[in-house]
Amino acid sequence: MYSFNNDYSEGAHPKILEALIQENLVQNSGYGLDTHSSQAIERIKQEIGRDDADIHFIVGGTQTNLITIATALRPWQAVICTDKGHINVHETGAIEATGHKVIAMPVKDGKLTPADVSEALDHHTDEHMVQPKMVYISNTTEIGTQYSKAELEALHHFCRQKNLYLFLDGARIGSALTSPVNDLTLKDIAKLTDVFYIGGTKNGALFGEALIINHPDLKPDFRFMIKQRGAMLAKGWTLGIQFKELFQNNLFYDLAAHANEMSALLKKGIESCGYSFFSDSVTNQLFPIFPDSVIAKLENEYLFSIQERFDSSHTVIRLVTSWATREDACRAFIKSLESCK
């Protein structure tokens, strides 16, 4: 059975494995204080165009979200996100476990707007309620949509007006940056957010996220929080090597572009079979709406996840492509779908 269940089913791109093997018996300093991590940080700083950024490598996305939000917020403060936000749905209450409320706003396209944030602020007016202090967004979003530069600029401007931190979850930022409708660069994102991260786990690395802190108030003592939350990897050089390799010879972008190309191939085939989608995604996550009978047949050959019920006889599923997805597997899926009709 071929898996379209996620974008981390495979290990890592061969170039990353080769780099790790090459350095395997070389001794390195621990906890991210090694030369590989320093070199990776310098490459990322060049990519984002900010020498003043603090950059930390953390193993996974949930840890990165938890540590960042816990650092930014005082005990009485809360974070705003969409109702489908990863911190609201898929992190086992990790943010709430730090003592901070998640204010989830219902949206249709997976994206927060200044109006959504304003509504959340209007409902939290005094010291008898939590105080919203951070806005959390994902790009790409949890349903495969993405922010335009104008949309991110509007959020950035509103957050500045209201003295809110803007945090962008970039677990799938590679897919967003290489999609056919994208008009953002990493330099734009570094200018328009207080903190964001570049996801490696879902874009060819064995594991790892590169957290970029732009706001000066969030920088002091951040390594203390990383250590206290159990996220300071002793063999931190393994993270440094991976990000150094990702940001060499355009590898990060090439891997993300491949995932998008495979997704586009699937989308074209699904549309040709007459099916529609739950969201308008041009990135590596697709959410087609299939009859339950079709899903039952496809489940005999492919792995994928169920997103939600659409109506009494149709369900939304999620198909995810990756840097390693094979073109022949995508074409086989389309043929299987055609045979279900």
Query: pLDDT tens for residues 178-208?
Result: 999 999 999 999 999 999 999 999 999 999 9
Provide the pLDDT for residue 7. Answer: 98
What tens digit of pLDDT does each residue of 38-56 get? 999 999 999 999 999 999 9
Rounded-to-integer distance, Cα 80 and Cα 100, Å: 11
What's the Cα-to-Cα distance from 276 to each of 47, 134, 287, 296, rounded to whole Å? Answer: 37, 35, 9, 18
pLDDT in tens, 275-302: 999 999 999 999 999 999 999 999 999 9
What is the band of 327 on the pLDDT scale with cuts at 50, 70, 90?
very high
Q: Which domains does the chain have, with CATH numbers?
A: 2-7+251-339 (3.90.1150.10), 14-246 (3.40.640.10)
CA distances from 17 to 13, 56, 106, 252 (A): 7, 21, 41, 14
pLDDT band with cut points at 50, 70 and 90 for residue 34: very high
First to last CA, the chain: 20
pLDDT-based confidence at residue 341 (cuts at 50, 70, 90) = confident
Q: Are strands 314-320 and 305-309 parallel, antiparallel or unpaired?
A: antiparallel
The answer to whether the predicted template modeling score (pTM) of the entire model surpasses 0.75 is yes
| Residues in CB range of 230: below 8 A, 6 or more apart | 63
pLDDT at 94 over 90: yes
The backbone torsions φ and ψ at residue 208, rounded to the nearest 5 degrees and listed phi first, read 125, 140
Which tops the pLDDT comparison, 147 or 341?
A: 147
pLDDT (tens digit per residue) in 235-268? 999 999 999 999 999 999 999 999 999 999 999 9
pLDDT at residue number 111: 98
DSSP H or E segment with residue 166 = strand 165-169
205 with 244: CB under 8 angstroms? no
Cβ-in-10-Å burial (0-12, 13-18, 19+) of 274 comes to exposed
In this prediction, residue 280 carries a pLDDT of 94
Picking from 8, 22, 55, 40, the residue whose alpha carbon sits closest to that of residue 223 is: 55
111-134 b/e (C-beta count within 10 Å ≥ 16 → b): bbebebbeebbeeeeeeeebebbb
